[in-house]
């Protein structure tokens, strides 16, 4: 694991388990990114909620920027992590990922 990977959960859910739906946490994450997504014209796609022993709940959502070529096999991804009560510990944005 390099130093960057220690700052936030990996782009892929490695070693994590699927988590039951948690609308409180997902809505808190969405609230954290909604202004940025609207301002930058992101087209949100698939999302995935998992549980990590290190990071707690981890929500990942794929997006394409407004000028992103439709033919591209890659997407960008926001990663949000925190606790089931809706506390968001942090977010990260990664680019050039395979879709969820």
Q: What is the 3-state secondary structure (H, E, C) of 32-82?
A: HHHHHHHHHCCEEEEEEEEEECCCEEEEEEEEECCCCCCCCCCEEEEEEEE
Taking the C-alpha atoms of residue 69 and residue 90, their distance in angstroms, rounded to an integer, is 29
Query: Checking DSSP bridges between strand 43-52 and strand 17-18, what pairing results, if any?
Result: antiparallel
User: What's the pLDDT at 71?
Assistant: 84
Q: Give how many domains the chain has, as a whole number.
A: 1
User: What's the pLDDT at 32?
Assistant: 95
What is the pLDDT averaged over residues 13-31? 96
Residue 92 lies inside a defined structural domain of this protein: yes
What is the pLDDT averaged over residues 25-42? 96
Residue 62 lies inside a defined structural domain of this protein: yes
What is the pLDDT averaged over residues 46-64? 97
**Number of helices followed by number of strands (H, E) in the chain:** 1, 5
Mean pLDDT of the chain: 92
Q: What domain range includes position 69?
A: 25-97
**Position 56 pLDDT exceeds 70:** yes
> Per residue in 75-98, pLDDT tens?
999 999 999 999 999 999 999 999
What's the whole-model pTM score? 0.90
**Position 45 pLDDT exceeds 70:** yes
Tokens read off for 64: 């394409």
């Amino acid at each position: 694991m390099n130093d960057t990977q220690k700052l936030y959960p990996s782009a892929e859910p490695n070693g994590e388990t699927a988590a039951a739906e948690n609308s409180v946490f997902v809505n808190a994450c969405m609230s954290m990114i909604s202004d940025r997504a609207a301002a930058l014209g992101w087209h949100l796609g698939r999302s995935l909620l998992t549980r990590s022993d290190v990071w707690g709940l981890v929500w990942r959502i794929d997006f394409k920027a407004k000028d992103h070529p439709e033919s591209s096999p890659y997407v960008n991804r926001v990663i949000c992590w925190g606790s089931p009560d809706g506390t968001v510990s942090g977010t990260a944005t990664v680019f050039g990922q395979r879709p969820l």
